[in-house]
């Protein structure tokens, strides 16, 4: 009897549902941090009709999920539908997200309650009076300080009705409101233009006339279209606005720039529209009224005291650059050049000025090339030329030839450095100019203290200001050598020229051999073992050519025929350069043996850096040290051996559950360039410590000690 009554009650319940033609939601699923369910805008759907079914999520306080483009990190919510035959689901309708800041990263997210409607279409042959079951498997990433992937399997019973169904009494109004506010096309005209390091986006149309543009923001659909955390400056015009964005990998990654820039333009008052911009000339109607720029959480690079402060910092940085390990090999050339004219004041001063001219000319040439490359849209920084295997191979051979010259294997005039009492004034000046130029080229991998802020400021200014800052850097770099050349009391303390100078010159050749070997090692990191073998062969061929050329010089001095030896020697050197260039141009970067892990020393292992990995580790509450480095940065390599390889450092990392990430910039990488720019830097080294509690990152000095690293990790883990 009891069973019969239960069956009758169930039948009555189902009949009531069908008679009321109301959708019946399945159970609310709690996946841990989110309660999810499917809800319908209307109480049923007619054959051939469409009904909006929304994923409703109630998100735990202080947690968030992600928009269709999550921003710098995260994953968008995904829905996989299981529908009856003939039924279909359309695209998800994404409400306008909020901006969620986490350290230097900016994500696009949802908090509290979010409804994401999806149009569900019924086939024309759907049978009236039946109820269909709609099932959706939903997966999402929910984050606070940690990120947790969760999923839920949801269902909804939807009646098929004869005519237009009424709104669902509980959810119909809410879904209609979400659909009304959701971004949609509104006839806006959008145009973008890449202008150097800026991406200009102009939007005009009736909805923007007279609108309050304060807080306007562009949410791109592509995760790589712009740098999300960068400021979006707003300029208001009579018929719209122009946003100044920072281009992302889509535009500066080295490939073909996209023909379309699509996304959502949102205003602070809640209005939002879908736009699809095309490349073209910006309309004047989108700018001109000079509205103040919208503020961003990212502070642009600046130098204390503006231009004067930047000039002072650049000069100090140039002075200190003389003490950086990068410049040690060329100090031998400086010393040899100065010793040759120590007791000829006029010649010493001329040498100092020639050295200064070489330094300034090379600094300004590199700065001009850097500005031109960046203006073309490439994400490059200081030392960018050493990211080219071709440049590295050429410098390695040049250093080898300079060392062979200093060793006496061959001579250029009376040697390229102008060493020796008999050096002519002209040869000495050319040698000093060359020494200054080469010193700058070798110093380029390094950024000394004070340089970082000055160069970061310079690259945000007009070209004339930027070149002025680089000139100040060159003046600081050349100042010690020039000062000594112009101080007679110092010059008189040096020994008088004699046979010892030849011995000094040959002894000082060995740092140049070391520089050639270092550059060859850098080339191996960039190009792999096959190309390395070719460059080593080119070095042997160049050395042989230099030796043959030296023999021809000896034969010429003895009055013997020398033309054949001269030609053979020069041809060997030219062939060596051609072989090295061929190896560099055909080189392919070596493939990592593991998934980006490399040992930095006993017990301390470096993981490969990525913005996503930083965000993930910070979400886990772990301290993180990011080492922005490059094989061609000697300071980076010295820091790694001196401060990051000891057992005590490894123990400190283990005790604090800290992670060491390495961002290797040996080869060009726009993502690393972007990360450097976010800290106002244009070169390496850069060491950034992220505290476990999610506080602001801490930038360490460019010259590290083991104690500094241990103290920083312990503070970050406290």
Distances (CA, A) of 370 to 205, 375, 635: 38, 8, 21
Choose the weakest-confidence range: 330-344, 348-362, 508-522, 589-603. Answer: 589-603
What is the Cα–Cα distance from 23 to 17, expressed in whole angstroms?
Answer: 8
Choose the weakest-confidence range: 233-247, 290-304, 529-543. Answer: 290-304
Name the residue with higher pLDDT: 591 or 168. 168
Using an 8 Å Cβ cutoff, are 249 and 224 in contact?
yes
* CA torsion angle 127 133 134 140 (round to 10): 180
3-state secondary structure (DSSP) of residue 598: strand
Percent of the chain with pLDDT over 70: 78
The pLDDT of residue 201 is 93
What is the Cα–Cα distance from 632 to 391, expressed in whole angstroms?
Answer: 11
Structure tokens at 284: 């004047």
Question: Could you please report the per-residue DSSP string of 612-631?
Answer: HHHHHHHHTT--EEEEEE-T
**Angle value at C-alpha 441, between 437 and 442, nearest 5 degrees:** 115
The pLDDT of residue 453 is 61
What is the Cα–Cα distance from 676 to 663, expressed in whole angstroms?
Answer: 10
Using an 8 Å Cβ cutoff, are 562 and 553 in contact?
yes
Residue 315: band (very low, low, confident or very high) from pLDDT cuts 50, 70, 90:
confident
Q: What is the CA radius of gyration of the chain?
A: 34
Structure tokens at 41: 């805008």
State the average pLDDT over residues 344-365: 82
The pLDDT of residue 474 is 85
The pLDDT of residue 239 is 83
pLDDT in tens, 263-297: 999 998 889 999 999 988 888 777 654 433 333 33
Contacts 24+ apart (CB under 8 A), 249-256: 249/224, 249/670, 249/671, 249/674, 250/222, 250/224, 250/225, 251/194, 251/199, 251/225, 251/377, 252/377, 252/378, 252/379, 252/670, 253/224, 253/379, 253/670, 254/378, 254/668, 254/670
For residue 625, list its beta bridge partners.
660, 689
Residue 674: band (very low, low, confident or very high) from pLDDT cuts 50, 70, 90:
confident
Residue with tokens 């790694």: 640
Distances (CA, A) of 129 to 7, 15, 210, 624: 21, 11, 51, 60
The pLDDT of residue 473 is 85
Is residue 212 predicted with pLDDT exceeding 70? yes
- Name the strand (E) or helix (H) holding 24: strand 24-25
**Global pTM?**
0.43
Structure tokens at 486: 């112009």
The pLDDT of residue 209 is 80
Is residue 677 predicted with pLDDT exceeding 80? no
3-state secondary structure (DSSP) of residue 503: helix
Residue with tokens 């969760």: 150
Diameter of the chain measured on Cα atoms: 130
State the average pLDDT over residues 148-169: 90
Nearest by Cα to 490 from 354, 345, 358: 345
Burial of 135 (0-12, 13-18, 19+ CB in 10 A): middle
pLDDT in tens, 457-515: 666 567 787 788 888 888 988 888 888 778 767 666 666 656 666 777 788 778 778 87
Task: Give the 3-state secondary structure of 248-312.
Answer: CHHHHCCCCCCCEEEEEEECCCCCEEEEEEEECCCCHHHCCCCCCCCCCCCCCCCCCCHHHHHHH
Q: How many CB atoms lie within 10 A of CB 644?
A: 24
Structure tokens at 480: 């010690």
Strands of 147-159's sheet in order across:
24-25, 147-159, 131-143, 78-82
Mean pLDDT across the chain, nearest whole number? Answer: 79
What is the Cα–Cα distance from 485 to 489, expressed in whole angstroms?
Answer: 10
State the average pLDDT over residues 438-454: 65
Structure tokens at 2: 């009891």
Tally the residues of the chain.
Answer: 718
Name the residue with higher pLDDT: 191 or 104. 191
State the average pLDDT over residues 292-308: 46
Structure tokens at 361: 């000319």
For residue 262, list its beta bridge partners.
276
Structure tokens at 684: 């390496």
Q: How many CB atoms lie within 10 A of CB 409?
A: 18
Residue 414: band (very low, low, confident or very high) from pLDDT cuts 50, 70, 90:
very low
**Angle value at C-alpha 588, between 586 and 590, nearest 5 degrees:** 150
State the average pLDDT over residues 124-139: 93
State the average pLDDT over residues 95-118: 90
Is residue 255 predicted with pLDDT exceeding 60? no
Is residue 713 predicted with pLDDT exceeding 80? yes
Residue with tokens 């792999």: 528
b (16+ CB within 10 A) / e for 335-371: bbbbbbbbbbeebbbbbbbbbbbbbbebbbebbeebb
Using an 8 Å Cβ cutoff, are 630 and 684 in contact?
yes
pLDDT in tens, 538-573: 889 999 999 999 888 888 888 888 888 889 888 998
Using an 8 Å Cβ cutoff, are 35 and 110 in contact?
no
What is the Cα–Cα distance from 233 to 27, expressed in whole angstroms?
Answer: 46
State the average pLDDT over residues 563-585: 86
Q: How many CB atoms lie within 10 A of CB 91?
A: 8
Name the residue with higher pLDDT: 342 or 284. 284
pLDDT in tens, 14-70: 444 444 445 676 789 999 899 999 999 999 999 999 999 999 999 999 899 999 999
pLDDT in tens, 173-184: 999 999 999 999
263 CB contacts (<8 Å, ≥6 apart)? 69, 218, 219, 220, 221, 222, 225, 274, 275
Using an 8 Å Cβ cutoff, are 710 and 718 in contact?
no
Structure tokens at 292: 């103040």
- Name the strand (E) or helix (H) holding 159: strand 147-159
Residue 337: band (very low, low, confident or very high) from pLDDT cuts 50, 70, 90:
low
Q: How many CB atoms lie within 10 A of CB 711?
A: 13
Distances (CA, A) of 518 to 299, 326, 545, 601, 630: 37, 10, 22, 20, 13
């Amino acid at each position: 009897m009891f069973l019969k009554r239960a069956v009758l009650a169930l039948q009555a319940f189902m009949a009531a549902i069908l008679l009321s033609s109301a959708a019946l939601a399945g159970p609310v699923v709690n996946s841990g941090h989110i309660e999810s369910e499917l809800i319908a805008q209307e109480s049923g759907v007619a054959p051939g009709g469409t009904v909006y079914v929304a994923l409703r999520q109630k998100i735990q306080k202080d947690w968030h999920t992600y928009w269709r483009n999550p921003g710098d990190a995260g994953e968008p919510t995904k829905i996989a539908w299981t529908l009856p035959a003939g039924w279909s689901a359309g695209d998800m309708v994404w409400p306008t997200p909020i901006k969620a800041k986490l350290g230097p990263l900016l994500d696009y997210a949802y908090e509290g309650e979010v409804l994401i409607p999806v149009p569900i279409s019924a086939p024309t042959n759907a049978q009236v009076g039946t109820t269909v079951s709609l099932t959706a498997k939903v997966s999402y990433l929910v984050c606070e300080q940690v990120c947790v992937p969760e999923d839920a399997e949801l269902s909804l019973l939807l009646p098929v009705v004869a005519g237009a169904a009424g709104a669902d009494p509980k959810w119909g109004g809410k879904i209609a409101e979400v659909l009304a506010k959701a971004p949609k096309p509104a006839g806006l005209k959008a145009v973008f233009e890449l202008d150097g390091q800026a991406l200009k986006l102009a939007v005009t149309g009736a909805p923007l006339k007279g609108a309050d543009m304060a807080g306007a923001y562009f949410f791109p659909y592509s995760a790589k279209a712009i740098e999300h955390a960068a400021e979006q400056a707003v300029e208001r015009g009579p018929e719209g606005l122009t946003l100044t964005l920072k281009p992302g990998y889509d535009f500066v990654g080295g490939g073909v720039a996209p023909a379309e820039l699509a996304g959502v333009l949102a205003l602070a008052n809640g209005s939002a529209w879908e736009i699809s911009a095309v490349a073209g000339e910006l309309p004047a109607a989108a700018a001109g009224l000079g509205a103040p720029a919208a503020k961003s959480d990212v502070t642009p690079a600046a130098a204390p005291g503006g231009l004067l402060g930047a000039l002072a910092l650049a000069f100090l940085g140039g002075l200190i650059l003389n003490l950086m390990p990068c410049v040690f090999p060329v100090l031998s050339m400086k010393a040899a050049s100065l010793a040759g004219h120590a007791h000829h004041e006029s010649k010493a001063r001329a040498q100092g000025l020639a050295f200064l001219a070489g330094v300034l000319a090379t600094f300004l040439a590199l700065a001009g090339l850097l500005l031109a490359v960046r203006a073309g849209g490439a994400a490059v920084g200081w030392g960018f030329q050493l990211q080219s295997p071709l440049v590295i191979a050429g410098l390695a051979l040049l250093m080898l030839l300079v060392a062979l010259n200093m060793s006496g294997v061959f001579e250029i005039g009376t040697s390229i450095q102008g060493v020796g009492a008999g050096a002519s004034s002209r040869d000495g000046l050319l040698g000093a100019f060359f020494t200054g130029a080469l010193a700058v080229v070798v110093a380029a991998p390094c950024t000394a203290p004070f340089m970082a802020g000055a160069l970061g400021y310079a690259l945000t200014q007009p070209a004339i200001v930027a070149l002025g800052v680089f000139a100040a850097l060159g003046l600081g770099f050349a100042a010690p050598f020039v000062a000594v050349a112009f101080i007679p009391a110092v010059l008189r303390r040096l020994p008088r020229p004699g046979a010892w100078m030849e011995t000094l010159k040959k002894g000082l050749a060995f740092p140049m051999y070391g520089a050639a070997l270092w550059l060859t090692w850098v080339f191996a990191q960039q190009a792999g073992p096959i190309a390395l073998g070719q460059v080593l062969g080119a070095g042997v061929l160049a050395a042989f050519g230099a030796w043959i050329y030296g023999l021809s010089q000896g034969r010429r001095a003895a009055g013997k025929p020398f033309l054949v030896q001269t030609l053979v020697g020069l041809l060997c050197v030219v062939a060596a350069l051609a072989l090295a260039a061929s190896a560099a141009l055909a080189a392919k970067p070596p493939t990592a043996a593991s998934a980006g892990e490399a040992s930095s020393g006993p017990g301390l292992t470096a993981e490969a850096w990525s913005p996503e990995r930083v965000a993930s580790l910070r979400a886990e509450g772990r301290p993180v040290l990011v080492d922005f480095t490059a094989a061609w940065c000697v300071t980076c390599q010295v820091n790694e051996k001196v401060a990051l390889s000891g057992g005590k450092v490894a123990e400190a990392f283990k005790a604090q559950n800290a992670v060491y990430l390495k961002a290797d910039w040996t080869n060009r990488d726009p993502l690393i360039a972007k990360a450097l720019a976010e800290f106002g830097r244009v070169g390496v080294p850069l060491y950034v410590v992220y505290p476990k509690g999610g506080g602001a990152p801490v930038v360490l000095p460019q010259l590290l000690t083991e104690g500094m690293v241990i103290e920083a990790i312990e503070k970050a883990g406290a």
